[in-house]
């Protein structure tokens, strides 16, 4: 399935270059340009606010808000509840899996579609490789040197197996290849969202990405969260336009190429898109990086995970200096860009075992 670019805009705000592109089939805004700078950014505001002080919804000229359709699924979204069966014991290496959560998907990536558990939008884009240190046959997403487009979109759940979850936890092992330099803009890593299966509620999305920790090409990267929908506003808690850049506000682990890391993330949806009561947390090798408890994220639903690295035809993906000096925002096309994924686990309170 080929994605079609249907809209793009960009601006520079507060040291972060922000850009949105609205692409099918997700009806969402799917990229953010980012340049994480110094540890001083750890003081970015996350002060709790009165949850009744709802901000106005600012679409800011982007794709139209998705409105609830009661005909899709009239069943109310459940609150977190005891697990309904299946393994609820966190495996070694995933210490922050919520107590009482049920594992809803686990794969060693012996196949690119997670042993048949994942939905491949771009079949064949993911490669199976065996880099040193993999516990399984790691999956790789590759943008070859000089290649103008590429990517991988692999999604849980498959259509027909979706669940009306209002929380989701992810644990996975990840590394960049030794020559990884990324783009000068957003380096999308994975999404935790409600895009394709919102159960009649407002769809929205967000992703975790790698931001360079210095001038391009940066020797290290840090993990950040960005809501990625124009129907959300988190400017009360995060930086950049609409607060779309939630940087590490507890610790900031500098991630180096050719090094395996365990990434954990946990999201509890806000009860509405302006309620400011959503929770987003993430960890690197067990160390808490970001802890936001007052975000607008979700409309009672967060139930989808994606490996999403769709390097499209934007200027940031095209070759830049030194091979193409005229495209100052372009990437270094002398290097292959490779993500490796090994052993991914998803769990949720109230989730049903596969």
Domains belonging to the chain, first-starting first, are 86-354 (2.60.120.200)
pLDDT for the residue 27: 29
Q: Give the chain's end-to-end CA distance (angstroms, integer).
A: 27
**pLDDT of res. 353:** 86
pLDDT value of residue 216: 92
0.85 exceeded by the pTM? no
Q: What is the dihedral of CA 290, 165, 192, 137, to 10 degrees?
A: 110
Task: Give the residues of the chain that fall short of pLDDT 70.
Answer: 1-87
Confidence (pLDDT) at 36: 55
Using one digit for the tens of pLDDT, what is the confidence trace for 172-200? 999 999 999 999 988 999 999 998 899 99
| Among candidate residues 314, 281, 279, the one with its CA nearest the CA of residue 186 | 314
Q: Mind listing the pLDDT tens digit for each residue in 247-272?
A: 999 999 999 999 999 999 999 999 99
Burial of 85 (0-12, 13-18, 19+ CB in 10 A): exposed
């Amino acid at each position: 399935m080929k994605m079609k670019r249907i809209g793009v805009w960009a601006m520079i705000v507060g040291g972060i270059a922000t850009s949105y592109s609205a692409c099918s089939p997700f009806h969402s805004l799917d990229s953010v340009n980012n340049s994480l700078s110094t540890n001083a950014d750890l003081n970015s505001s996350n002060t709790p606010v009165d949850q009744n002080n709802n901000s106005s919804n600012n679409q800011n000229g982007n794709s139209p808000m998705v409105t609830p359709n009661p005909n899709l699924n009239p069943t109310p979204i459940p609150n977190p509840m005891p697990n309904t069966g299946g393994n609820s014991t966190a495996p070694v290496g995933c210490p922050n899996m919520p107590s009482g959560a049920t594992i809803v998907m686990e794969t060693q990536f012996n196949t690119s579609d997670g042993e048949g558990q994942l939905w491949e939008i771009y079949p064949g884009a993911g490669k199976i490789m065996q880099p040193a240190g993999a516990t399984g046959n790691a999956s790789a997403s590759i943008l070859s040197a000089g290649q103008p487009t590429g990517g991988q979109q692999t999604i849980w759940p498959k259509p027909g197996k979706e669940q009306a979850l209002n929380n989701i936890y992810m644990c996975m092992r990840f590394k960049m290849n030794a020559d990884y330099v990324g783009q000068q803009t957003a380096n999308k890593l994975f999404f935790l969202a409600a895009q394709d299966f919102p159960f009649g509620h407002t769809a929205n999305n967000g992703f975790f990405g790698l931001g360079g920790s210095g001038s391009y090409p940066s020797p290290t990267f840090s993990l950040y969260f960005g809501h990625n929908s124009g129907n959300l506003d988190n400017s009360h808690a995060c930086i950049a336009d609409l607060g779309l850049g939630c940087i590490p506000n507890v610790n900031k682990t500098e991630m180096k190429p050719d090094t395996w890391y365990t990434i954990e993330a946990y999201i509890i949806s806000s009860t509405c898109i302006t309620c400011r009561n959503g929770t987003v947390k993430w960890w690197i090798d067990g160390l808490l990086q970001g802890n936001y408890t007052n975000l607008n994220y979700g409309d009672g639903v967060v139930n989808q995970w994606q490996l999403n690295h769709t390097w499209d035809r934007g200027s940031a993906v095209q070759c830049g200096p030194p091979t193409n000096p005229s495209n100052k925002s372009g990437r270094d096309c002398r290097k292959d860009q490779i993500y490796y994924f090994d052993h991914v686990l998803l769990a949720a309170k109230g989730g049903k075992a596969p």
